[in-house]
Amino acid sequence: MAAPDPPPRPGKPPLPWRARLLVGAASTLHGASLRGDGTVNRFLLSLFDRAAPPTPAPVAGVASTDHAVSDHLRVRLFTPTTTGDGDSKQLPVVVYFHGGGFVFHSAATAQYDELCRRLASAIPAVFASVDYCLAPEHKFPAPYDDGEAALRWVLAGAGDALPSSPAAVFVAGDSAGGNVAHHVAARLPNNVAGLVALQPFFGGEAPTQSELRLRGAPFGAPERLAWLWRAFLPPGATRDHEAANVPAAIRRDADGGEGRWRAFPPTLVCVGGWDVHQDRQRAYAEALHAAGAVEVTVAEYPDAIHAFYMFEELADSKKLVADVAEFVNQRTEQLKKRELDRAKH
């Protein structure tokens, strides 16, 4: 006999009224824009998905500029104008992939513009926010191809748009962007100093305990999640496809004797206690560790909903920014020390 579904988590996540209203409005808008025929009402989305312009004149200590990587691919660079150690300091570069279920948002979305600006200032680091192609118009593997192209562009010097050569290059992303960041890092592991996965979006055919328990939590509706995976995955693919069920794909590689995950870069996985995806995120970290990845750290935020980092006023949002800054700066210093030791010998 199958085990009964776990009861829903009692109560509601601790959110201030403003955040609660915005989460409800975003969920309603997303739901209204998804059509039954598998297409998206992009006009409706454009009415509410406010775009922020680039700011060549610094705002809050960070300047931003837009750059063309190819005919269809754009990147917004966020460059801190003060680093605390003088203008000559080499900064790390973080190639960032926004969330939105592979379907929503862009690098110019106001909330992502603000998030990248906060992170760029706090670390400090240059952020290269990637405007990758969206589903359902562009299915798997389009975002991964765009992500790889953007990373290679940064590694090649970003068209001389960087203030100096990078001290180190990281990849990062939230939700679906965390999924993209993982696959980009897996393609070019030797070129990536570290991966920051903020509540990465993974899937699978068999529901997890958190997916059953938190189906009523913000952005947790199973019907919505199923629609998003159908929009992104190849026609006929299930959610056990390697793009979605990443923990299972890593375990298969390890069981088959492949040692490629030992070269995977140090990884920070951020998990929220009110996030429907949390079981898969922990399983991802466990699979990487079991497959031989050198360093995998899980940061837990027990009271956090999915996408909590968008709300600067939340204590957990501030903690996440500090955790990411610590991770990036520690790995950058480790790389610098390694280079110095290499130069001495």
Concatenated DSSP letters of 114-172: HHHHHHHHHTT-EEEEEE---TTTS-TTHHHHHHHHHHHHHHTTGGGTSSSS-S-EEEE
The tokens for 283 are 């399983």
Best CA proximity match to 50, nearest among 106, 94, 110: 110
What's 203's DSSP letter? Answer: -
What sign results for the dihedral spanned by CA atoms 42, 222, 111, 165?
Answer: negative
C-alpha distances (whole Å) from 323 to each of 31, 139, 329 are 32, 32, 10
CATH fold for domain 40-81+90-344: Rossmann fold (3.40.50)
- The catalytically annotated residue of 113, 131, 174, 275 is 275
Domain ranges of the chain: 40-81+90-344
Residue 25 burial (10 A CB sphere; 0-12, 13-18, 19+):
exposed
pLDDT, position 343: 75
129 contacts 78 by C-beta, under 8 angstroms: yes
- The catalytically annotated residue of 30, 113, 306, 323 is 306
d(CA 29, CA 25): 6
pLDDT, position 86: 47
pLDDT, position 344: 75
Residue 275 annotated in active site: yes
112 contacts 129 by C-beta, under 8 angstroms: yes
Q: What is the pLDDT of residues 49-69, one digit of tens each?
A: 899 999 999 999 999 999 999
Amino acid at 228: L
Ranges of the chain with pLDDT below 50: 1, 86-88
- The catalytically annotated residue of 175, 182, 277, 279 is 175
* Residue given tokens 């299972």 in the structure block: 248
Residue 129 annotated in active site: no
Residue 175 annotated in active site: yes
pTM of model > 0.85: yes
pLDDT, position 4: 63
249 backbone φψ class: left, alpha, beta (φ>0; ψ -120 to 50): alpha
